[in-house]
Each structure stands twice: as structure tokens, then as C-alpha cells.
Amino acid sequence: MAARWSIGRAAVLVAGLTGVSTLLGFVRDAVIAAVYGAGPQLDAYFVALGLANIVLGLLGTSLTRAATPVLAREADGEEVCRGHRTFDVVISTSVVAIGALSVALGVAAAPVSRVLAPGLTGEGADLLVLLTRIVLVTTVLVAATDLLVALAQAHGVFRWGALQGVPFNLVMIASAGLLGPHLGIVALAAGFVVGSLARLGLQLVPLARHRWPVRARWDLRSPGVREIGALLPPLVVGQAVLNVNTLVDRAVASTVGEGAVSAVFLGWRLVNLPEMLVVAALVAPLYPAMAAAADDPARMRHLVHRGLAVSLTLLCPVAVALLVAPEAVVTLAFGRGAFDEQAVALTAVAVLCFLPGLLALACRQVVVSACYAVGDVRWPVAVGVLAMVVNVVGDLTLAPIWGVAGIVAATSASLVLAAVLNGWLAATRHGLLGGRATGTLLLRTVVATTGSAATAALLLAWADPGAAWARAGLALVGAALAYQLMLAFMRAPERFVALEVVRRVRSR
């Protein structure tokens, strides 16, 4: 597989195309915030999305993660695709299972919604039931889309998966901006269904272009399907843990006050933007490569170290900018229309408290992907269960005291704990991390981040730009330059990461 495509070039390609999709995603979020504000309608919509994500996480995402190593090995070295029996069985069974679960949840939407958001009452509760039934339609569409993306990536085809957000976000922008003022929040849920159809349609393009045969199969005893079946239970538990975290976060936020669910959601969206652009784009080609190199320990250690180095080097300056100018960044992203100053201030609090979780999640993504690639899914899941307990206990104890800040701080604490424990397990059980090399990398990262934060804060205090765009831009540029200078001063190998990314972009 390594001979057929370059991880670096694929990552740059995915990052570029994902960047286009993500930019449209932020335009979408800005339009939604401006039209609906941070209130009970938007809170109900985000809670309904949470239930759909639970279904997708339990079955769709778990199946995709379990199937990717198998599909990558089956596609490795093929000159002509002769079909994917394993893929056929997985997509056939997943569509039926997810569809059945979604129908059952739709029928029971009223009692389920009371559990999801006990703080929503009256019209808000009724609206949540309606929105839940609408967005559950998308679960089958999104699951099929994700599996088709995994199939394409197994063959080294990444562009169509990275572009799937473009049609989806265009539909959502049109639904919110054009129909939202007339139809209310229902327009957003309907747009979510139509946008999901557009995402699925885009993934049919590589299927037709490369003539990959796909047909309904039910051979649950084939070797590939049995291997996926062995990986699936712990992955389902792991996804359940993540979804319980989200479920509890939003349920508790619904009791804190109006707009709290929206502040937590939009704050995470803002913090998660760089993670999506960097780590998600990197892991897309890195995970299949790890699966193909599972029997080569030296290659695996190189891939893990490289993934950590690139992720931290590109994410830390962004985290510093968010640290020193959170309200300016939130204002620039969402501060218009119905999204008033109070909503900006509340979302900025969420952004600040999410920052430790951003860097922890970046490291965790790379390390856990490596563990999955070598067939270890149980220990990461066990760590996830422990992190879930920390998050839930933190939500219940800190939210009554600190509100949104307490909810988000609990989430960040659970992400940091998961990153540390997964790193320790990957190093001790599988030798995926070189102890000295990784320790030195983390030390250089701490020193460079500290220097960058001090420089960016002093620069903002000295220049004192008034406009939000000027403060946000100055914070980001100052943090990035200071971070790069610190790396150069320490003669760190990571100082060449930015130049390498630029070269690969130019080569594409």
C-alpha cells in the first residue's frame, strides 16, 4: 500500500479539501447562530443531533473503524479490484441494523427526549420530539457514506471523502439562511436530511469511476466479517462511552440555563476546527498505513511519532491564539445577528475550558489509531470507560457550581486522562512510543507553547487592537511566529514541519 500512495501527500490533500468543507461548516454555524441565536430552539436541535450521533457512534462509526484495517489489507497490492465481499456484508447489515434502531427510537422519541434534555419543557420539549424524529432519518445515510469513504481510502482515494462536507454545508446554509426565518428550526432539521443525501451521492462518484462492484451480501461467516465481528464489541463500548459523555454534557447543560447547550456545542466546534483540519486529515491516510504496517514495529513507531509531532506542531500555536483572545475569536466566528454579547461571553468560557482537551484529543487520536491497527481495542475502551466516569462525575459535581465552565472542564479533564493512559498503554504493551523520543518531543512542545503564549499575550497588550478580527489575527500570527522561533532556537526537528507542509501543498 505504501507504494501506491504517500501518507504525507494524502494528508495534505485531505487537509486542503477538508479545509474547504470546514470553512463552509463555519459559515454554516455562523448563519445558524445569527438566525436562531443561543436559545431553546437551537438547544433542542443540538440535543436531537446528539441522539442521532449516538446511533451512528454505536453502529456506524464502530463498523467503519473495525472494517478499515480489513479493507486496507484486502485492497493492498490489488491491481484490479475484483470486489469486496467483506465490505458488501458490512454495508448490507449496517443499513438494516441502523435503520431498525432508528425507527424504534423514533417511535419512542417522547420518553427518550425527556432523558436527553430534562431541562427542556413545554414547547421546547415538543419541538425536541419532532426534531429527533426528523434527524434520525439521516443515520442510515451517514453510516453508508462513512463506509463508502472507508472503502475508497483503502484504495488510496481520499479526495471524495474529504469533499463530502461541501454539498452538505451548502444545503445547510441555504436551509438556515433562506428557510429558517420562515419555517423556524424545522428548516434546519430538514436541511440536515437533504444535506446527508447529498453527502452520500458524492461518495457514489468514486464507486462508479473505479467500477468497484458493491452488492447485498449476508455471509456473516466469511473470515473478514468474523475478524470485524471480533473487533466490533469493544469498539461499540468505546463509542458508547463517547456518546454517554456527549449525552450527559447536553442533558446537564439543559438544566444550567437557556443557551448553555448551544454555548458548549459551538465552543467545541470552534476548538475542534484545527483538530479536524490537522489530526483528522492526518489520521485519514495514517490509519490504513498503520494497519498495513502492523507487523513492522519500527515502521509503526515512526508513524506514531510523526503523527504526534505534526499534530502538536500545527495545533499548539492555534491553541495559544484561542487562549489569549477567546472572545475576539468567538465574536469573529459567531458574533452577529441574534448571537448577542451574552452568548459570545458564554461561548468564550467554553472555548477556554476546552483547550486542554484539544491537545489531549490530538495525541489520543494518533495513539488509539495505532492501537486499533495492531488489533488492541479492549484497553483503549477500558481507558474510555474510566474517562467517561471522570466526565460524568465532573459534570454532576461542577455544573451546579460553575455552570458551562464546569461542564467543559470535566470534559477536558477526561480527555487529558484518556490521552495519558492510552499513551502509557501504547508504550508499555506494544512499544508504539519511543520513551525518550516521545518525552523529548513533549518537553519541547511545552517550552515552545509557554514561550509562544507569553509572546502573544504581550503583543496583544502592547498593540491593543480594537476590532475582533485584528485581535484574533494578531494573536494567531504572533503565536505561530513565536512558536516557530522557539523551535528554531531549540534546533527541534519539528521546526521543518511547516515548511514540509508548504512544499507538499505546492507539489499538489
Query: Count of CB atoms within 10 A of residue 58's CB?
Result: 20
Give the H/E segment covering residue 405.
helix 404-430
**CA 500 to CA 505: how far, in whole Å?**
9
Contact 228, 91 (CB under 8 A): no
Helix (H, G, I), strand (E, B) or coil at 363: helix
Cβ neighbours of 154 (radius 10 Å) = 25
For residue 446 the three cell numbers come to 511545552
CB atoms within 10 A of CB 255: 14
The answer to whether the beta carbons of residues 246 and 29 sit under 8 Å apart is no
For the stretch 459-474, pLDDT in tens is 999 988 878 989 999 9
pLDDT for 77 beyond 60 = no
SS3 content of the chain, % helix, strand, coil (to 5): 85, 0, 15
Asked if 330 and 26 count as a contact pair (C-beta separation under 8 A), the reply is no
| Predicted confidence band of residue 7 (pLDDT cuts 50, 70, 90) | low
**Rounded Cα gap, residues 325 and 347, in angstroms:** 13
Q: Name every residue whose Cβ is closer than 8 Å to that of residue 345 and which is 6 or more positions away in sequence.
A: 327
192 or 116, higher pLDDT: 192
**Domain range list for the chain:** 1-242, 259-489
How many CB atoms within 10 Å of residue 431? Answer: 14
Residue 4 reports pLDDT greater than 50: no
Q: How far apart are CA 199 and CA 180, in angstroms?
A: 21
Alpha-carbon dihedral of residues 122, 123, 124, 125, nearest 10 degrees? 60
- Whether the Cβ atoms of residue 134 and residue 186 lie closer than 8 Å to each other: yes
3 state DSSP class of 437: helix
pLDDT band for 1, please (50, 70, 90 cuts): very low
- CA angle, 444 as apex, 440 and 447 as ends, to 5°? 140
pLDDT-derived band at 17, boundaries 50, 70, 90: low
Give the span between the Cα atoms of 279 and 506, in whole angstroms.
20
Give the position of cell 486542503: 16
Question: What's the CA gap between 152 and 160, in Å, rounded?
Answer: 8
Residue that has been written with the C-alpha cell 484529543 in this structure: 361
pLDDT digits (tens, 9 = 90+) for 259-307: 888 899 899 988 888 877 776 666 556 666 776 777 788 888 888 888 8
* Helices marked H in 108-185: 109-116, 123-135, 138-154, 159-162, 165-174, 180-183
Does 222 have pLDDT greater than 70? yes
- When computed from its CA atoms, the radius of gyration of the chain, rounded to whole angstroms, is 22
CB 43 within 8 A of CB 264: no
How many residues does this entry show for the chain?
A: 508
Tell me the C-alpha distance between 203 and 146, whole Å.
9
- 394/381 Cα distance (integer angstroms): 20
Other CB atoms closer than 10 Å to residue 115's CB: what's the count?
10
| Confidence label for 391 from pLDDT (cuts 50, 70 and 90) | very high
